[in-house]
Amino acid sequence: MEDQAPRKVLPRLDESLLTHLPPFSKLDKRQIRTILDQATSRRYETGIAIFEEGHAAERFYMLLDGYVRVVRITPTGEQVTSLHIPAGQLIGIARALGRDTYPATAITAAECLALSWPMRLWDTFVAEYDGFATETYKTVGLRVGEMNTRIVEMATQQVEQRVANAILRLINQTGRKVADGIEIDFPITRQDLSELTATTLHTVSRLLSGWEKKGLVESKRKRIKVCDPHALVMLTQGA
């Protein structure tokens, strides 16, 4: 269920939380203090919709910790994951797209900590804070570019290439080094991966099982570890 009424449940946050994040990195501590004093902070459990597609865009958010899945619902009711967004980015930025409703649903892929502000403050932030607008629109451009890349992949690549590309993107964005490989740093199921690549659960399961036998990946308990990144790169090239 969408977060209709965000609640301030955390202690007063320090300015250092925002100083290294691109939308706020050009601001002084006084400006960041003003921004934080207008924010609501909240922790979200895994699997919570922070906001939902089609609902009035009443707030925008800065994800401080965790990961979010951006989900769209097709006209036939199918759920499609279009993006995964890591901590340190703004989400729910409908105003930057010229919209007054959210274009997609944001579901927590892990426990998350986020700040949020009323959408009425968006124009104030753009006008008053150096770097906020340029960095935000840069983020929008990167997300559109990623979605365009996926559209091209779906039109031109075999399913094995698409799944390999999706896994490589996730470890590039969120991977953490573990014994014998790099692990996607949030729980991800085979169903999630099938939605992300517009294929079936059966196909994803078959591919992962085959790759496990070859030592390319390990997949268990909602965790995917890449043991041989180079081999996956070769798969994306149809080798």
Tell me what pLDDT residue 212 has: 94
Contacts of 27 (CB under 8 A, 6+ apart): 18, 19, 35, 129, 130, 131
DSSP state, residue 38? T
- Using the predicted structure, report yes or no on whether residue 9 has a pLDDT greater than 50: no
Residue 8 within any structural domain of the chain: no
Residue 171 within any structural domain of the chain: yes
State pLDDT tens for residues 74-98.
788 777 888 889 999 999 999 998 9
C-alpha span between 197 and 163 (Å, rounded): 6
Residue 65 within any structural domain of the chain: yes
Contacts of 167 (CB under 8 A, 6+ apart): 184, 193, 217, 224, 226, 232
What would the two tokens of residue 157 be? 């690549």
Contacts of 151 (CB under 8 A, 6+ apart): none
Query: Do 211 and 99 share a structural domain?
Result: no
Query: Do 218 and 143 share a structural domain?
Result: no
- Using the predicted structure, report yes or no on whether residue 135 has a pLDDT greater than 90: no
Contacts within 8 Å (CB) and 24+ apart, 199-206: 199/159, 199/162, 199/163, 203/159, 203/163, 204/163
Query: Do 41 and 74 share a structural domain?
Result: yes
Query: Do 104 and 34 share a structural domain?
Result: yes
Count of domains observed in the chain: 2
Q: Which of 194, 196, 216, 195 lies closest to 205 in space, CA to CA?
A: 194
CATH code for the domain of 176: 1.10.10.10
DSSP state, residue 12? P
- Reported as a pLDDT band with limits 50, 70 and 90, residue 3 is low
- Using the predicted structure, report yes or no on whether residue 140 has a pLDDT greater than 80: yes
Of 121 and 135, the one with more pLDDT: 121
- Using the predicted structure, report yes or no on whether residue 171 has a pLDDT greater than 50: yes
Residue 176 within any structural domain of the chain: yes
What would the two tokens of residue 11 be? 């202690």
State pLDDT tens for residues 188-217.
889 889 888 888 999 999 999 999 999 999
Percent of the chain with pLDDT over 90: 55
Choosing from 111, 128, 147, the residue where a domain stops is 147
Write out the residue range of the structural domain in which residue 139 sits: 16-147
C-alpha span between 13 and 35 (Å, rounded): 11
Query: Do 210 and 167 share a structural domain?
Result: yes
- Using the predicted structure, report yes or no on whether residue 143 has a pLDDT greater than 80: yes
Q: Which of 153, 140, 156 lies closest to 95 in space, CA to CA?
A: 140
Query: Do 117 and 185 share a structural domain?
Result: no
What would the two tokens of residue 43 be? 């922790």
Provide mean pLDDT across the span 143-164: 85
Query: Do 94 and 185 share a structural domain?
Result: no
Query: Do 131 and 52 share a structural domain?
Result: yes
- Reported as a pLDDT band with limits 50, 70 and 90, residue 186 is confident
What would the two tokens of residue 25 be? 């990195």
Residue 47 within any structural domain of the chain: yes
- Using the predicted structure, report yes or no on whether residue 12 has a pLDDT greater than 80: no
Residue 96 within any structural domain of the chain: yes
- Using the predicted structure, report yes or no on whether residue 236 has a pLDDT greater than 90: no
Choosing from 147, 171, 191, the residue where a domain stops is 147
Query: Do 190 and 135 share a structural domain?
Result: no
Query: Do 125 and 186 share a structural domain?
Result: no
- Using the predicted structure, report yes or no on whether residue 7 has a pLDDT greater than 70: no
- Using the predicted structure, report yes or no on whether residue 10 has a pLDDT greater than 70: no
Query: Do 204 and 106 share a structural domain?
Result: no
C-alpha span between 229 and 145 (Å, rounded): 23
Query: Do 117 and 30 share a structural domain?
Result: yes
Provide mean pLDDT across the span 15-25: 88
- Least confident range from 54-68, 136-150, 222-236: namely 136-150
Choosing from 147, 172, 193, the residue where a domain stops is 147
- Reported as a pLDDT band with limits 50, 70 and 90, residue 164 is very high
State pLDDT tens for residues 209-232.
999 999 999 998 889 999 999 999
Residue 37 within any structural domain of the chain: yes
Look up tokens 């010229």; give the residue. 98
Residue 2 within any structural domain of the chain: no
Of 130 and 58, the one with more pLDDT: 58
CATH code for the domain of 114: 2.60.120.10
